[in-house]
Amino acid sequence: MALLEVKELSVVYRTPFGIVNALNDVTFNIDRGESLAVVGESGSGKSTLALAVSRLLPPNARYVSGSIMFDGINILRLSSSEIKRIRGTGIFMVFQEPATSLNPVFKVKDQLMEAVRIRYEKEGNAFDESKAINEIMSVLRDVRIPDPELIIERYPHQLSGGQIQRIMIAMGLLMRPKLYIADEPTSALDVTVQAQILKLLRDLKREYGISILFITHDMAVASIIGDSIMVLYAGQLMELGPTKSVIYEPRHPYTQALLSSIPKISKDEGKLPAIGGTVPNLLNPPTGCRFHPRCPYKMDICSKVIPSLVKVDNTYVRCHLYGQ
Ligand code: SF4
């Protein structure tokens, strides 16, 4: 049984302008110890997906259909107090903006200590401060924080973005979650720190056996962190498969377009290709295939019939060019 099984998930937002169809019929699994990178432009629904899986959607959002099974439990059926028990020690979320992740008025030590305290409580163990400090030091070393004894005495404003992201990842490790959800955790960091954090997450996945759902708009980042890649467009799953297949044999025209717009330093290709048009307004998404207004392979059927998700070799693709 997969750790996370999301089936036919659809989510909408109620807004003053109407209903926004943010996620439509999204299905995927994440196995234990595996990572899935979710890629898409702004407005593709990837952050909604991360929030939906953690049951952190804002009050104007509504689950329309589908199920989310986490470790054998349908989390859409849990009460708020039951879901709180899963957050942190079951599913841990690292957000995009490091500066807003930690509480500004508490030292790092107090915040990490609180994470250990919560885990002890959930495990039914009495809190032991000296044991907790040893654990914190060991995890801070695992996430390659230099001088952890000094860092834990600091307040968040005294740390860099890269240090805060490492501390957030350490906090997750202290809570021992089964699933890390990371929503663009490196996009606010410079490229060198971004590469270090990605390597760190990959190493931790191997060492701790955690599963990762990693949200990014960057196909290059997805190819580094994901065992599999899922491409979302306008709230629909367009392609899902092992990273090698998606990167080297992309089937869906949108995946192909995303890949061709990555700059290559090995050769001068002149003007970088861009995907024409813009992401559709999800208040009134295109009929049929949501990518049809921008697709160079568009056929008559594309604007009339929603393509089904079909399996092509080891990849799932939603496109009329495949299947029947
Ligand atoms: S279904 Fe049609 S419009 Fe959509 S990606 Fe495939 S070919 Fe393009």
- Cα of 296 from ligand 1 centre, angstroms: 8
Q: What pLDDT score does 142 carry?
A: 84
Structure tokens at 21: 């169809």
Distance CA 51, CA 128 (A): 33
Q: What pLDDT score does 209 carry?
A: 87
Classify burial at 219, counting beta carbons within 10 Å of its beta carbon; exposed 0-12, middle 13-18, buried 19 or more: buried
Distance CA 18, CA 59 (A): 15
- Cα of 68 from ligand 1 centre, angstroms: 28
Distance CA 147, CA 152 (A): 9
- Cα of 254 from ligand 1 centre, angstroms: 8
Distance CA 49, CA 213 (A): 10
Q: Which amino acid is at 320?
A: H
Classify burial at 176, counting beta carbons within 10 Å of its beta carbon; exposed 0-12, middle 13-18, buried 19 or more: middle
Q: Using alpha carbons, list the distances in angstroms from residue 213 to 3, 137, 205, 208, 246.
A: 11, 26, 11, 15, 17
Q: What pLDDT score does 240 carry?
A: 98
| Positions of the chain with pLDDT lower than 50, given as ranges | none
Residue 70 and residue 211 in contact, taking contact as beta carbons nearer than 8 Å: no
Q: What pLDDT score does 262 carry?
A: 76
Choosing among 3.40.50.720, 3.40.50.1370, 3.10.20.30, 3.40.50.300, the CATH entry for 4-270 is: 3.40.50.300
Distance CA 118, CA 125 (A): 10
Query: pLDDT tens across 259-285, in order?
Result: 987 777 666 667 777 777 788 889 999
Among 255, 290, 321, say which to mutate for ligand 1: greatest number of ligand atoms within 8 Å of CB.
Answer: 321
- Lining ligand 1 with CB less than 6 A are 253, 289, 291-292, 295, 297-299, 302, 307, 319-321
Alpha helices in the chain (DSSP H): 46-53, 80-86, 108-123, 129-142, 148-151, 161-175, 191-208, 219-225, 243-248, 253-260
Looking only at the bridges linking them, the beta strands covering 309-312 and 236-242 are unpaired
- Cα of 305 from ligand 1 centre, angstroms: 10
Q: What pLDDT score does 98 carry?
A: 67
- 309: how many CB neighbours lie within 10 A of its CB? 18
